[in-house]
Amino acid sequence: MNKENVPQDLGALGKLTTEVCYVTDENGKYVTELSNGWQIKSEALDVAWHDIEEKVNAAKRKVENNEASPILFFMELRVMDPAILSAYTGFWKWTIKRHMKPSVFKKLSGDKLKRYAEVFDISVEQLKTMNAHEA
């Protein structure tokens, strides 16, 4: 990329810091130049967050229809998957899957609920009611 082609489209990161790019100058020599971001990649990031939002909404509907417990909702909200949630809570993946069933969730001990709530950074009450604050 030539120095003069470095994009300066303000992206999410560009509000906090510029990024270093290695580019060629008019003599073809490599130099560094700062960029505020690139629209193409901001849009790729938007796609990723849009997909996450859809997953969160789908999870929410499932909980409301009593097809899943709030654990599914909060897992999606915190951009986790069963493997990550398992690593943070110490529960096995299959255990987590079980806890995602509303009937099993209702019978979970306070201790186990607390473990989930801590990982999701919410209170047990919020976990039960699916009432989350912003991350």
Partner 1 sequence: MKLNFEHVQAAHCENGVTRNLLKHAGVNFITEPLAFGIGSGLFYIHLPFMKVNGGPAISFRTQPGLIFKRTAKSLDIKIIRKKFSSEEEAQKALDECLQQGQPAGCQVGVYYLTYFPKEYRFHFNAHNLVVFGKEDDNYIISDPIMEYTTTLNSYELNRVRFAKGFLAPKGQLYYPEKAKEITVEQIQRAIKKGIKLNLRDMLHIPGSFAGVSGIAYTGRKIKKWRDKLGIQKAGSYLAQIVRMQEEIGTGGGGFRFLYGAFLQEANQYFHKDELLDISKQFTQAGDQWRNAAVQASGIYKGRITSQADFDVMGDYLIKISEMEKKAFQELSKVKLDA
**Contact stretch for partner 1 (CB under 8 A) within 18-26, 60-68, 100-108, 110-118:** 18-26
| Contact code string over 66-105 relative to partner 1, x by CB under 8 A | -------------xxx-xx--xx-----------------
Contact partners, residue 40, CB within 8 Å, separation at least 6 = 7
Question: Residue 119 in contact with residue 85, Cβ under 8 Å?
Answer: yes
The SS3 of residue 33 is strand
- Based on CB atoms, which residue is closest to partner 1, 50 or 129? 50
Distance from chain centroid for Cα 80: 6
Rule CB under 8 A: say whether 6 interacts with partner 1: no
Main-chain phi, psi angles of 19, to 5 degrees: -115, 145
> How far apart are alpha carbons 102 and 130 in whole angstroms?
13
Rule CB under 8 A: say whether 113 interacts with partner 1: no
- Residues in contact with partner 1 by CB under 8 A are 1, 12-13, 15-24, 28-30, 32, 34, 38-41, 43-45, 47-49, 51, 79-81, 83-84, 87-88, 135
